[in-house]
Amino acid sequence: MASTRMETMNRENSAASNGVTSRGPGLLKEIPAERSIRGLIRRECWAAAQEIDHQAGLSKELLETHARRILAKLVLTEGYVGWTMVVLSSEFWRDQVAAVPHERRLLLLPPDSETSFAELRAQASQLGLTIATTESSTAIMEILFSGTIDAIVGVASLDILEKAIDKILLVGMPALAVPLLSTSDEPPMFDADWVQDMLHVGPAQQPNTSNRYRTLLQTARSLFEPVELARLLPRQRSGPSLAEVNGAGASGLDPLAATETIAHDFLALGGKYARPFITLAAYDALTESDSLPDAVRRVALSIESFHKASLVHDDIEDSDDFRYGRPSLHRAHGLPTAINVGDYMIGLGYSLVSRESAALGSAVVGDILEILSDAHLRLSEGQGAELLWRDARNKQLTPQEALEIYSLKTSPAFEAALLSGLRCAGSLENLQKPLQQFCEHLGIAFQILNDLKDWQGDQDNKLGVGLDTLGGRPTVLWALALEGLSPEFHEELLSLAESQADAEKKILRVRELYQSAGVFDKAADLVRAHQAQAEAIAGQIAPESLQRLLHYLLEIVLDRASALPSATAQ
């Protein structure tokens, strides 16, 4: 209920200057009305808290100094100083509170909170917390000096929390607090998920985000359902859909509407929608928003549009007959039409972003377009390197060369999805470089897993085993084999690249050579190495919500790592 009321308040105040609404008599006691602004400040408070010397302790002057720096960095009004000090103090004490057992924590709630905070009181009682109200300062001090309490958590007005900072610093007791968004409404408004995070914080009880990720994944998939896709991406041309022409194919379509129709159909077809999920989840990680603006949804749509365009062109370049268990687009509609539809989907991807200047701001849109165009160029360079190697007579390839191709061909897609979502939420600043490195390791590990999967076949796309070898594609498996084989078998492997021998016999012999060179085990080790490097980078990322997302991406994108031993079974 609190979250719903918060959304109402945000809508009512969306027209306020800078999203600011004065909530107190002082000039420095304003509360950010918009959830996205509160999330950005909290992120910066988390980062600032890591830099403060915990041995030296905390002072009110130090809190104010850091709060002003954070607001200056985010170009926000100094009216948020008091609110930022409270949030920064909480982030400073978070680890200490987490280490305190629930039964030695004190929960402070506003007066007359029996009804409006009934559910929170029940949860706190079940966890074993002591509960008191902020109006009884004498009783609170008695509790604090009783020796039974080692940490404080609380929900209160900004005025009360600011006054409490002095006492908390004096007592030296770690404390977490969530300021009320309003004291005039009944029931009071607050960030409900922040309160839950505060109540349950602990080494063994980190915030449970799995449900949130599942919801975001469902949201990403729902973008491509007919009704939602039509709402976010209305058709510009009239005419029947592919389903409505009842199997007649492109010949049954209005010629002027055919390209758009085929593109929309393919955009909604199949896939895990991992890339649009990454965009939505990245935005959510920084804003912790209760809703996703349509502008962000369209940016996620653009990411999938670029991805699907690349699949159309890849299927042509690799002469693949199936995609998502159906004939590939060039098999279904002809080569010229497929090329044109792929080009159309690239234009559609850029258009989806460029139209959102009013909602996101021209600077944000410009940065996202730069992110997307840079990724597009590098993906094309990687694909071009692969094609040139495939068509060359010299099939020599080192593992480093293969990994460089992977870095160009695969990593930029993850990078574009992640950075675009984050840029929708705020400034990238110091995040961009480490996240690019994270995506590089993630993309390389993902592509090596795809190489290993090639030796299992792909039932979804009706592929056989070893098609990368038959198609003459440069893989790290091939490079590792060339590096590890004796000169005699090295030359035999190179000769197999041009061999016209029976495909089954050819694949069988390549597998034998790979196994003799220990290729599959070496590739699995490379996956683990790049995964470990990505995990190390993720561990240094702030805020914690983004760090959790990066670890989650490693789990879902590299979910096949657990099946590495079977990838090479005969």
* Res 23 pLDDT > 50: no
Other beta carbons within 10 angstroms of residue 10's beta carbon come to 23
* Res 280 pLDDT > 50: yes
Question: What is the rounded average pLDDT of the residues 326-351?
Answer: 95
Give the burial class of 109: count Cβ atoms within 10 A of its Cβ; 0-12 exposed, 13-18 middle, 19 or more buried. buried
The sheet with strand 105-109 has its strands ordered as 130-133, 105-109, 151-156, 175-179
Question: What is the rounded average pLDDT of the residues 292-317?
Answer: 95
Tell me the two tokens of residue 138. Answer: 């004498």
Rounded CA-CA distance 270/387 in Å is: 26
Rounded CA-CA distance 122/542 in Å is: 32
Tens digit of each residue's pLDDT (9 = 90 or more) over 352-371: 999 999 999 999 999 999 99
Rounded CA-CA distance 186/114 in Å is: 13
* Res 452 pLDDT > 70: yes
Instruction: Quote the pLDDT of residue 47.
Output: 83
Question: What is the rounded average pLDDT of the residues 175-198?
Answer: 79
Contact 99, 75 (CB under 8 A): no
Instruction: Quote the pLDDT of residue 252.
Output: 61
Nearest to 296 by CA among 281, 316, 306: 281
For 25-29, 195-199, 219-223, which range has the lowest pLDDT when averaged over its residues? 25-29
Determine if the pTM surpasses 0.75: no
Other beta carbons within 10 angstroms of residue 264's beta carbon come to 21
Instruction: Quote the pLDDT of residue 455.
Output: 84
Going by pLDDT thresholds of 50, 70 and 90, the confidence category of residue 241 is low
* Res 515 pLDDT > 80: yes
Torsion, Cα 338 340 342 345, to 10 degrees, reads -140
Contact 273, 304 (CB under 8 A): yes
* Res 558 pLDDT > 50: yes
Instruction: Quote the pLDDT of residue 231.
Output: 94
Tens digit of each residue's pLDDT (9 = 90 or more) over 473-492: 889 999 999 999 999 999 99
Instruction: Quote the pLDDT of residue 325.
Output: 85
* Res 563 pLDDT > 70: no
| Relative orientation angle of helices 60-73 and 158-171, to the nearest 10 degrees | 130
Question: What is the rounded average pLDDT of the residues 182-191?
Answer: 71
| Bridge partner residues of 463 (DSSP) | 458
Instruction: Quote the pLDDT of residue 14.
Output: 35
Going by pLDDT thresholds of 50, 70 and 90, the confidence category of residue 169 is low
Mean pLDDT, rounded, of the chain: 83
| Maximum average pLDDT range among 305-314, 319-328, 450-459 | 305-314
* Res 444 pLDDT > 90: yes
Tens digit of each residue's pLDDT (9 = 90 or more) over 387-417: 999 888 889 999 999 999 999 999 999 999 9
Nearest to 11 by CA among 326, 323, 293, 363: 293
* Res 552 pLDDT > 80: yes
Instruction: Quote the pLDDT of residue 9.
Output: 33
For 228-242, 297-311, 481-495, which range has the lowest pLDDT when averaged over its residues? 228-242
* Res 2 pLDDT > 70: no
Please report, rounded to a whole number, the percentage of residues in the chain having pLDDT higher than 70.
Answer: 82
Instruction: Quote the pLDDT of residue 368.
Output: 98
Contact 99, 201 (CB under 8 A): no
* Res 281 pLDDT > 60: yes
Q: Which residue has the higher pLDDT, 528 or 561?
A: 528
Instruction: Quote the pLDDT of residue 324.
Output: 87
- In one letter, which amino acid is 386? E
Please report, rounded to a whole number, the percentage of residues in the chain having pLDDT higher than 90.
Answer: 42
Question: Residue 82: helix, strand or coil by DSSP?
Answer: helix
Tell me the two tokens of residue 566. Answer: 């079977």
Contact 519, 484 (CB under 8 A): yes
Instruction: Quote the pLDDT of residue 243.
Output: 57
Give the burial class of 544: count Cβ atoms within 10 A of its Cβ; 0-12 exposed, 13-18 middle, 19 or more buried. middle
Going by pLDDT thresholds of 50, 70 and 90, the confidence category of residue 537 is very high
* Res 22 pLDDT > 70: no
